[in-house]
Amino acid sequence: MNTFSRAKTIGWMLGAAVCVAACGNSGGDKPAADTAAVTESKPEPASVKPTPTAAPTYDGTIAKPGAPFSLSYKVIGTPIVGSPVTVNLRVTSTLGSQPMRVNYRINDAAAMMFHEAQPLSIEMAPAADENFVLQQVTVIPQREGRMYLNVGASVETEEGSMSTTMAIPIQVGTGGRILEENGEVQIDEEGEAIRVLTPD
């Protein structure tokens, strides 16, 4: 084989090799844009902010000048003769988180009575860094008219026992609750209206 034929044969072989290489790459290699992994962007969950709890509201607050306790109360619903009535109480102490005893009394049993499951006295302490306790009292009116639930609070100190008794008015009748309260309304240090009992 002469030099020209050998060169021609080598040329054909190189051409075939180039074609094979080109064909092999045509289906195997893809542009980087095609082979790049597609990452789906998932929205981050929205942070849920806790709904602020509304401060409880009360029908009134009873306080006596110089007394170690004040009493806020709310009669739930419209009192009806023969049906249990719940009264929410908040007893606030000027002595901080010291344990206190709270007791309940009804002067006229013919007008109103306690529910059979209602304890008449309980001793408890406010939570840490608080100066009040929350209680519920259930009574059953026996007739229409204006009645009173007496709430007493006491605490033992180094100087002896300190106590306060306060009367919660409960109006029973079809006309709803119309509470005519004694004393005068004053504003406390926190800007809340309280009813202060004045000497007769």
Instruction: State pLDDT tens for residues 13-48.
Output: 655 555 545 455 544 454 444 444 445 555 555 454
pTM over 0.85: no
Q: How much is the pLDDT for 181?
A: 53
Share of residues in the chain with pLDDT > 90 (%): 44
Instruction: Count CB-CB contacts under 10 A for residue 78.
Output: 14
Higher pLDDT, 50 or 65: 65
Find all residues with CB under 8 Å of 65, minimum gap 6, and list them: 196, 197, 198
- pLDDT band at residue 175, thresholds of 50, 70 and 90? very low
| Polymer length in residues for the chain | 200
CA count, 13 A, side-chain hemisphere, 175: 7
- 90: nearest Cα among 114, 115, 106, 72: 72
The dihedral through the CA atoms of 92, 93, 94, 99 has a sign that is: negative
Q: How much is the pLDDT for 129?
A: 84
Share of residues in the chain with pLDDT > 70 (%): 59
Residue in this structure with the two tokens 């009116």, named with its chain if needed: 141
The pair phi, psi for residue 178, each rounded to 5°, is -115, 105
Q: At residue 198, does pLDDT exceed 90?
A: no
Q: How much is the pLDDT for 177?
A: 44
- pLDDT band at residue 194, thresholds of 50, 70 and 90? low
Alpha-carbon Rg of the chain, whole angstroms?
42
Please report the domains of the chain, with CATH numbers, ordered by start residue.
60-196 (2.60.40.10)
